[in-house]
Amino acid sequence: MKLPRRIAAEFLATAFLLCAVVGSGIMGERLAGGNTALALLANTLATGAALVALILTFGPISGAHMNPAVTLSAAILGDLSWREVPAYISAQIVGAFAGVGAAHTMFGLPFLFASQHERSGMAQVFSEFVATFGLLAVIWGVVRTRPTAVAFAVAAYITAAYWFTASTSFANPAVTLARSLSDTFAGIRPADTPWFIIAQFAGAISATLLFRWFQSKGSE
Residues 48-87 within binding reach of its own copies (CB under 8 A): 48-50, 52-53, 56-58, 60-61
Span near its own copies by CB under 8 A; candidates 47-55, 67-75, 85-93, 176-184: 47-55
User: Smallest distance, Å, CB 21 to its own copies?
Assistant: 8
Tell whether the torsion through CA atoms of 49, 45, 157 and 67 is positive or negative. Answer: positive
User: Smallest distance, Å, CB 111 to its own copies?
Assistant: 12
Cα distances from 166 to residues 97, 121, 122, 132, in angstroms, run 24, 11, 11, 13
- # of chain residues touching its own copies (CB under 8 A): 81
State which of residues 113, 126, 195, 201 lies at the interface with its own copies (CB under 8 A): 126
Interaction between residue 123 and its own copies (CB under 8 A) = yes
> Is residue 101 a contact partner of residue 111, using CB atoms and an 8 Å limit?
yes
User: Smallest distance, Å, CB 141 to its own copies?
Assistant: 3
Give the residue with the Cβ less far from its own copies, 126 or 201: 126
- Please report, as residue ranges, which positions from 132 to 191 form the binding site for its own copies (by CB under 8 A): 134, 137-138, 141-142, 145-146, 148-149, 151-157, 159-167
Q: Which amino acid type is present at position 78?
A: G
Phi, psi at residue 216, to the nearest 5°? -75, 160
